[in-house]
Amino acid sequence: MKILKIKNSHGYFLCSKTSAWKQIDEIDKDGLMDLLNQYLNDDIEIEIDVFDEALIKNQAQRIIYKSVFEKFLSLIDNKSKFKDESERLYLDSIQKYKV
Amino acid sequence: MIKIDFHMHTVATPSDSHFEFDMERLKEYVRFAKLDAIAITNHNIFDLEQFIDIKNALDISVFPAIEIDLETGHLLLIADKENVADFSEKCSLVSAIITSATDSISVKTLKEIFPDLGQYMLIPHYDKSPPLSKAAIGELSEFIVAGEVSSPKKFIYCIKNEDRLTPVYFSDSRMSDNLTRFPVRQTYLGCDDTNFSSIKYCLSDKAKVSLSATESNKLFTVFDDGQQLSTGLNVVLGERSTGKSYTLNKINNESEGVKYIKQFSLVERDEAEDKRKFDKLLSDKRSLLTGEYLDELQAVVSDIIEVDLKEDGKSISDYIDSLVKFAKETERHDSFSKAKLFSEEEFQLDDQTGLKDLIKSTKNLILNKEFKSIVEKYVSIDSLKKLVINLMETYAVKERERLKRRWINELIFDVKSKLEARTAATAIKEIDLYKVGMNLKKVEKFERIVAYARTERIIKEKPLQGFSVVAKSVNFKGAGELKNHCRRQIAFSDAFSEYNSPYAYLKKLQEIEELRKADLFEYFVKIEYKILNRDGFEVSGGERSEVNLLEEIQDAQKYDMLLIDEPESSFDNHFLKKEVNELIKELSKSMPVVLVTHNSTVGASIKPEYLLCTKKETTEAGIKYRIYSGFPASKELISTDLKKIDTFEVTMGCLEAGQDAYDERRMGYENLKNQE
pLDDT tens across A42-63, in order? Answer: 788 889 999 998 999 988 888 8
pLDDT at residue B622, rounded to an integer: 81
Peptide bond into B64 cis (omega under 30): no
Specify burial of residue B352 (Cβ count, 10 A radius: 0-12, 13-18, 19+).
middle
pLDDT-derived band of residue B267, with 50, 70 and 90 as boundaries?
Answer: low
Asked whether residue B181 is domain-assigned, the answer is yes
User: Which of A29, A40, A67 is facing B437, going by the closest CB pair?
Assistant: A40
pLDDT tens digits for range B90-119 = 999 999 999 888 899 999 999 999 999 999
pLDDT at residue B632, rounded to an integer: 85
Asked whether residue B631 is domain-assigned, the answer is yes
Partner B contacted by A96 (CB < 8 A): yes
Partner B contacted by A72 (CB < 8 A): yes
**pLDDT over 80 at B366, yes or no:** yes
Q: Mean per-residue pLDDT for A19-41?
A: 88
Q: Mean per-residue pLDDT for B309-317?
A: 94
Asked whether residue B102 is domain-assigned, the answer is yes
**pLDDT over 80 at B568, yes or no:** no
Contacts of A32 (CB under 8 A, 6+ apart): A68, B316, B319, B320
Phi, psi for residue B132 in degrees, rounded to 5: -75, 140
Asked whether residue B74 is domain-assigned, the answer is yes
**pLDDT over 70 at B581, yes or no:** yes
Which element (helix H / strand E) includes B259?
strand B258-261
Asked if B431 lies within 8 A of A71 by C-beta distance, the reply is yes
User: Which of B317, B324, B436 is facing A25, going by the closest CB pair?
Assistant: B324
Cα–Cα dist B305/B307, whole Å: 6
Partner A contacted by B379 (CB < 8 A): no
Note whether B203 and B287 are same-domain residues.
no
Query: Looking at CA atoms only, how far is residue A38 from chain B in angstroms?
Result: 11
Are B292 and B460 contacting, i.e. CB atoms less than 8 angstroms apart?
Answer: yes
ipTM of the complex: 0.82
Count of C-beta atoms within a 10 Å radius of residue B276: 11
Highest mean pLDDT among B36-45, B230-239, B325-334, B464-473: B36-45
Closest CA to B131 of B147, B146, B142, B144: B147
Terminal CA-CA length for chain B: 60
Note whether B48 and B132 are same-domain residues.
yes
Query: Across chain B, which distance is largest between two alpha carbons, in Å?
Result: 123
**pLDDT over 60 at B669, yes or no:** no
**B437-441 long-range contacts, CB within 8 A, separation 24+:** B437/A36, B437/A39, B437/A40, B437/A75, B437/A82, B438/A82, B438/A85, B438/A86, B438/A89, B439/B307, B439/B308, B439/B309, B439/B312, B440/A36, B440/A37, B440/A40, B440/B309, B440/B312, B441/A40, B441/A86, B441/A89
**pLDDT over 90 at B128, yes or no:** yes
Count of C-beta atoms within a 10 Å radius of residue A86: 18
Cα–Cα dist B124/B146, whole Å: 7
Interface of B with A in 521-580 (CB under 8 A): none
pLDDT-derived band of residue B399, with 50, 70 and 90 as boundaries?
Answer: confident
Which element (helix H / strand E) includes B610?
strand B610-619
Asked if A75 lies within 8 A of B316 by C-beta distance, the reply is no
Partner B contacted by A89 (CB < 8 A): yes
Note whether B371 and B498 are same-domain residues.
no
Cα–Cα dist B495/B482, whole Å: 10
Distance of CA B463 to the CA centre of its chain: 21
Are B229 and B220 contacting, i.e. CB atoms less than 8 angstroms apart?
Answer: yes
Note whether B585 and B669 are same-domain residues.
yes
pLDDT at residue B660, rounded to an integer: 61
Q: Mean per-residue pLDDT for B533-540?
A: 79
3-state secondary structure of B645: strand
| Alpha helix segments (H runs only) across B455-570 | 479-486, 493-496, 502-511, 541-555
Q: How many structural domains does chain B have?
A: 4
**pLDDT over 60 at B676, yes or no:** no
Partner B contacted by A55 (CB < 8 A): no
Round the average pLDDT of chain B to a whole number and report it.
Answer: 87
Distance of CA B309 to the CA centre of its chain: 44
Closest CA to B571 of B263, B238, B259, B243: B263
Q: Which domain holds residue B197?
A: 2-218
Note whether B453 and B573 are same-domain residues.
no
pLDDT at residue B338, rounded to an integer: 75
> To 10 degrees, the CA torsion angle through B396, B433, B312, B303?
-40
- Look up residue B342 and give its amino acid: F
3-state secondary structure of B474: strand
Partner A contacted by B319 (CB < 8 A): yes
Note whether B153 and B73 are same-domain residues.
yes
Cα–Cα dist B154/B333, whole Å: 88
Interface of A with B in 5-24 (CB under 8 A): none
Highest mean pLDDT among A27-31, B583-587, B588-592: B588-592
pLDDT at residue B532, rounded to an integer: 83
Cα–Cα dist B278/B185, whole Å: 38
pLDDT-derived band of residue B344, with 50, 70 and 90 as boundaries?
Answer: confident
pLDDT at residue B49, rounded to an integer: 94
pLDDT-derived band of residue B619, with 50, 70 and 90 as boundaries?
Answer: confident
Asked whether residue B373 is domain-assigned, the answer is yes
Query: Looking at CA atoms only, how far is residue A8 from chain B in angstroms?
Result: 19
Note whether B167 and B27 are same-domain residues.
yes
Closest CA to B447 of A90, A79, A36: A90
pLDDT at residue B31, rounded to an integer: 93
pLDDT at residue A47, rounded to an integer: 92
Closest CA to B263 of B239, B280, B242, B246: B246
Please report, rounded to a whole number, the percentage of residues in chain B having pLDDT higher than 70. Answer: 90
pLDDT at residue B668, rounded to an integer: 58
Are B49 and B57 contacting, i.e. CB atoms less than 8 angstroms apart?
Answer: no
User: Which of B299, B320, B350 is facing A28, going by the closest CB pair?
Assistant: B320
User: Which of A62, A67, A84 is facing B345, going by the closest CB pair?
Assistant: A67
B466 vs A66, more confident? A66
pLDDT tens digits for range B490-521 = 999 999 999 999 999 999 999 999 999 999 99
Cα–Cα dist B656/B599, whole Å: 8
Whole-Å CA distances, B44 to B12, B540, B555: 11, 59, 37
Note whether B575 and B654 are same-domain residues.
yes
pLDDT-derived band of residue B337, with 50, 70 and 90 as boundaries?
Answer: confident
Asked whether residue B317 is domain-assigned, the answer is no
Min mean pLDDT across A39-48, B166-175, B534-543, B654-663 is at B654-663
Partner B contacted by A44 (CB < 8 A): no
Residue B446: closest C-alpha in chain A: A90
Query: Across chain A, which distance is largest between two alpha carbons, in Å?
Result: 57
Query: Looking at CA atoms only, how far is residue B381 from chain A in angstroms?
Result: 26
Q: How many helices (H) and strands (E) does chain A have?
A: 4, 4
> To 10 degrees, the CA torsion angle through B599, B600, B604, B606?
-60
Note whether B520 and B604 are same-domain residues.
no
**pLDDT over 90 at B415, yes or no:** no
Q: Mean per-residue pLDDT for B414-432?
A: 82
pLDDT at residue B603, rounded to an integer: 63
**pLDDT over 90 at B471, yes or no:** no
Strand pairing class (B173-174; B167-168): unpaired
CA atoms within 13 A on the CB side of B241: 2
pLDDT at residue A97, rounded to an integer: 86
Contacts of B365 (CB under 8 A, 6+ apart): B375, B379, B384
pLDDT at residue B520, rounded to an integer: 94
Which element (helix H / strand E) includes A21?
strand A20-23
Strand pairing class (B219-221; B593-596): unpaired
Closest CA to B7 of B210, B240, B190, B171: B171
Are B134 and B164 contacting, i.e. CB atoms less than 8 angstroms apart?
Answer: no
Substitution target in B300, B337, B361, B456 with the highest count of A β-carbons within 10 Å is B300
Partner A contacted by B354 (CB < 8 A): yes
> To 10 degrees, the CA torsion angle through B439, B443, B446, B447?
-170
User: Which of A25, A33, A89 is facing B441, going by the closest CB pair?
Assistant: A89
Specify burial of residue B539 (Cβ count, 10 A radius: 0-12, 13-18, 19+).
middle
Asked whether residue B439 is domain-assigned, the answer is no
Are A73 and A48 contacting, i.e. CB atoms less than 8 angstroms apart?
Answer: yes
Secondary structure letter of residue B206 according to DSSP: G
Q: Mean per-residue pLDDT for A55-81?
A: 88
**pLDDT over 80 at B300, yes or no:** yes
B288 vs B441, more confident? B441
Note whether B9 and B58 are same-domain residues.
yes
Cα–Cα dist B442/A32, whole Å: 19
Q: Mean per-residue pLDDT for B42-66?
A: 95
Distance of CA B561 to the CA centre of its chain: 16
3-state secondary structure of B666: helix
Query: Looking at CA atoms only, how far is residue A22 from chain B in angstroms?
Result: 14
How many residues would you count in chain B? 676
Partner B contacted by A97 (CB < 8 A): yes
Cα–Cα dist B326/B425, whole Å: 6
Which CATH number does the domain housing residue B76 bear?
Answer: 3.20.20.140
Closest CA to A97 of B505, B450, B462: B450
pLDDT tens digits for range B211-222 = 988 767 789 989
Asked if B316 lies within 8 A of A32 by C-beta distance, the reply is yes
| Alpha helix segments (H runs only) across B423-456 | 433-454
Highest mean pLDDT among B336-350, B398-412, B513-527: B513-527
Specify burial of residue B168 (Cβ count, 10 A radius: 0-12, 13-18, 19+).
buried
pLDDT-derived band of residue B297, with 50, 70 and 90 as boundaries?
Answer: very high
Note whether B205 and B99 are same-domain residues.
yes
B578 vs B200, more confident? B200
Its pTM stands at 0.61
Are B596 and B243 contacting, i.e. CB atoms less than 8 angstroms apart?
Answer: no
Closest CA to B49 of B11, B98, B93: B11
Cα–Cα dist B666/B670, whole Å: 6
Cα–Cα dist B583/B591, whole Å: 12
pLDDT at residue B444, rounded to an integer: 95
Note whether B502 and B382 are same-domain residues.
no
pLDDT at residue B661, rounded to an integer: 57
Asked if B327 lies within 8 A of A63 by C-beta distance, the reply is yes
Are B634 and B613 contacting, i.e. CB atoms less than 8 angstroms apart?
Answer: no
Asked whether residue B586 is domain-assigned, the answer is yes
Asked if B449 lies within 8 A of A94 by C-beta distance, the reply is yes
The b/e string for B31-65 (b: 16+ C-beta within 10 A; e otherwise) is eebebbbbbbbbbbbbbeebbeebbeebebbbbbb
